[in-house]
Chain A
Amino acid sequence: MAKGPADPAIKAQILEYLAKVQKAKSRDVAVAIGAKKTDVDNAVKELTAEDLVEYLYITTTYICLKGKVQTPNDEK
């Protein structure tokens, strides 16, 4: 599906939201910022390529700010 470049405003809103939580499903982000889920998914795709956001797979896939969630053997 040709989606085109993501809306910079949505990208900024996603980053702002993810700064407030540890991790989230993209659906919940979409609801929280009042955007369409497909637009959020498209923006997340760009944000991961820009190394600002990463995907996190623990029983299902979440998104989070890059480096925010630690791996099991990291000391807290």
Chain B
Amino acid sequence: MTDKKTPLLDELEKGKWPSFVTEMKRAAVKSEAAGELLQVLERSYRERRGHWKHGGIVGVRGYGGGVIGRYVDEPETYPNVAEFHTVRINQPSGFFYNTKTLRTICDIWAKYGSGLTNMHGSTGDVILLGCKTEDIQTIFDEYSEAGFDLGGSGSCLRTTNCCVGPGRCEYACYDTLEACYNITNEFMDELHRPMWPYKSKIKFSGCANDCTGAIARADISVIGTWRDSLIIDQAAVKEYAANQFDIQGQVCDKCPTSCLKFNSEAQELTVNADDCTRCMHCINVMPKAIQAGKEKGASILVGGKSTIVQSAFMSSVIVPFMKMDAENDYEEFKDLVRRIWEWWDENGKSRERLGELIYRVGMGRFLREADIPPVPQMVFRPRANPYVFWPQDELDRSGTALDGSKL
């Protein structure tokens, strides 16, 4: 272990929240690289600046991603972290683990890496922080042998991610765990061999609470929903009322479409299903009494991303309701995303995300060329200007000859 002092970082071992500095020191007992990482970080704390450089090439044979090149800016001073690359391991759906699997991840990493990890990265992968170029192929070979695969990096399908789903949540409107697993396996080529203008992400959330943040963080956001009416258990409603739960105030008054009515005398809660937008609020606050309907599936929204370059975009609706059937091998969904990716790959400029491309060329063109039928659910409200760019076939359909006959 290094004997170099880290007075600034030591301050961050105080306090009740678990300390990342303690974690680094723990790793430094066995890894010289982790010890040197502490010194580099202490220096950053002193100088208020980072000391890492990005490098493009560190890969394994046959893949175009999964490892991110990282180099310290003073390799002579810090030889043990001169190369300090990140390995991304594709996580199991829903971040579920048995301890045998977790221990296997740790055992392999103990042999070649710094002993430091992120459980998990923001996209979903297990992040292994800090290894040398010469070990990368061996690291991959051993993880592969143990049943793991690399996640995505670069201009590819990034590692997909899902919420806890039917594994432990009564809200799940489709099997997010299976959808994520099945669809990830379908698109292995897209995930491991970056060939697109930029990255593309898919996130699977089982309901509109959107615990994976799909709408904000995924180019293709799959958000569970239902088509029919909420199901209300009146006996359970009475129980909530008996327990002094403020059904009128906490449920009906907060319903965004005022579609719930509570009869305090009869202690009955009723819904006007036509007005319900399935926002999840009432289910969230009365989980024992209110359930999603029976006709379940997902809404497909596209275009979400963070700020770089054209501002942050939320995904927007392109398919209001789609069955997400494991029995049909998710064919409808797979067919849709293939059309979308093909269109984006054909038209996107370098480093242009799907949402930015749609913004640049227009939603109408996207829908026409990706063969997606326009529906009112796609917009909050229609356009306020008359600047429609009419395609010729529309002119042919709607024009009228001077004699009044159809063209």
Contacts and interface: CB of A to CB of B under 8 A. Distances in A.
Contact of A57 (B56, B82, B196): B56
A37 B345 contact: yes
B57 A61 contact: no
A60 B55 contact: no
A45 B193 contact: yes
B405 interface: no
Contact of B193 (A44, A56, A71): A44
B75 A55 contact: no
Given A48-B62, A61-B155, A41 B195 contact: yes
Contact of A60 (B53, B59, B197): B197
Nearest to A45: B193
A57 B68 contact: yes
Nearest to A66: B57
A69 interface: yes
For chain B, the bracket of interface size reads 35 or more
B194 A57 contact: yes
Interface string B101-140: 0000000000000000000000000000000010000000
Contacts of B54: 58, 72
Contacts of A73: 53, 55, 71, 75, 82-83
For chain A, the bracket of interface size reads 20 to 34
A24 B82 CA distance: 27
B193 A41 contact: yes
A63 to B, nearest CB: 8
Interface in A13-69: 25-27, 37, 41, 44-45, 48-49, 51, 54-63, 69
Given A55-B154, A60-B198, A61-B155, A71 B65 contact: no
Nearest to B187: A1
A70 B351 CA distance: 22
Contacts of B58: 71
A25 B350 CA distance: 8
Interface string B137-160: 000000000000000011110000
B332 interface: no
B64 interface: yes
A10 to B, nearest CB: 14
B82 A60 contact: no
B303 interface: no
A55 B197 CA distance: 14
A31 B396 CA distance: 34
B295 interface: no
A60 B189 contact: no
B65 A57 contact: yes
Given A37-B345, A71-B133, 15 more contacts: A26-B195, A27-B345, A48-B62, A49-B61, A51-B61, A54-B57, A55-B63, A57-B56, A57-B65, A57-B154, A59-B351, A60-B350, A61-B196, A71-B71, A73-B75
Interface of B: 53-59, 61-65, 68-69, 71, 75, 82-83, 133, 153-156, 189, 193-198, 338, 345-346, 350-351
